[in-house]
Amino acid sequence: MTPAPGLLPPAASTLAPRTDLLFTAMLFLCGGVALVLCVLVIVFAVRFREGSAAERGRPLRRLRWLEVAWTVVPLLLFLGLYAWTSVDFMRLYRPPAEALPVYVVARQWMWKLQHRNGRREINELHVPLGQPVLLRMTSQDAIHSFFVPAFRLKQDVLPGRYTGLWFTATQLGEFPLLCAEYCGSAHSQMTGRIVVMAPEAYSRWLADGAAQPSLAQYGFTLFRRLGCSGCHAAGSTVHAPLLDGIVGRTVHLQDGRSLVADDNYLRDSILLPRKDVVAGFEPVMPSFAGQLDEEDMRALIAYLGSAGERR
């Protein structure tokens, strides 16, 4: 089912109505200010036109209330808009704990997506109706931008970093997926679709895919093949940090800093191991830069993220 065309894209996510309300408020506010200014310009232009009988001999020297008003009122409007947008912005980057993770790798010129059970898609994403979905995204080459007009969502996808975005679809159907950042000669062809399905249909679709290891299982295979378990396993003779439950943990570094181990920290630790050395450990880990592509990196991080669930 494809939504019927209209003046605006359909509002097909929980965020869309709030975004539309904000833009409508901005439209009326800016339009109202422009209208008032336009009326004042016309009134004064007519009243004080050349040859009119308007009094010009005694200009007003002080209107304190007017000065206060045109300072305080815009300030209050600005603060109100700031608070409104801040609440929506912070909500956008605080996904629910039960959100379904989907891993996205952008490249010239396609979207490669993978679900937690290992099922892959190219240029389309199937999601369940009414259930939060968390996108964990990175780029293999240039800067791209994941844009779904019907969901009122747009997020830059950066090479070498991970960005996140979550949404909850509220309408069944198919919705365009676009790249909103110029990324090369075939940028206009980097399109796809979001397919929103009933939860039961989505579960069947997810299970019907070709049998393949989950992302975390593939990550475990890489973890063993690259020799990571030789240093980071509990019984290892090498003095290296244990990785069970690492995601979300506060890590204390040799230089006195502390940070939370998120996806970007794990990526840097694999590719740039001397950048953030954990306190109490020597910087002896080799770099795996050039040995892993973005999908391998995602699988390793998914495996490390599942370590806490296995404890």
Structure tokens at 64: 């304190």
Fold classification of 8-31+75-212 is: Immunoglobulin-like (2.60.40)
Dihedral angle at the C-alpha atoms of 252, 254, 256, 259, nearest 10 degrees?
-30
Question: What CATH architecture is 224-310?
Answer: Orthogonal Bundle (1.10)
Q: Print pLDDT tens along the chain (311 aa).
A: 444 455 677 889 999 998 898 988 999 999 999 999 999 999 989 888 887 877 777 766 677 888 888 889 989 999 999 999 999 888 888 888 889 999 999 999 999 998 888 888 999 999 999 999 999 999 988 999 999 999 999 999 998 888 888 999 999 999 999 999 999 899 999 999 999 999 999 999 988 876 677 888 888 888 888 888 788 877 777 777 878 888 888 888 888 888 888 888 888 888 888 888 888 888 888 888 888 888 888 888 888 887 655 44
* The pLDDT value given to residue 59: 66
What does the DSSP 8-state code read for residue 288?
A: -
What is the side-by-side strand order in the sheet with 144-148? Answer: 124-128, 191-197, 173-179, 144-148, 153-157
Instruction: Enumerate the domain spans of the chain.
Output: 8-31+75-212, 224-310
* The pLDDT value given to residue 3: 44
d(CA 281, CA 289): 21
Beta strands in 151-213 (DSSP E): 153-157, 163-168, 173-179, 191-197
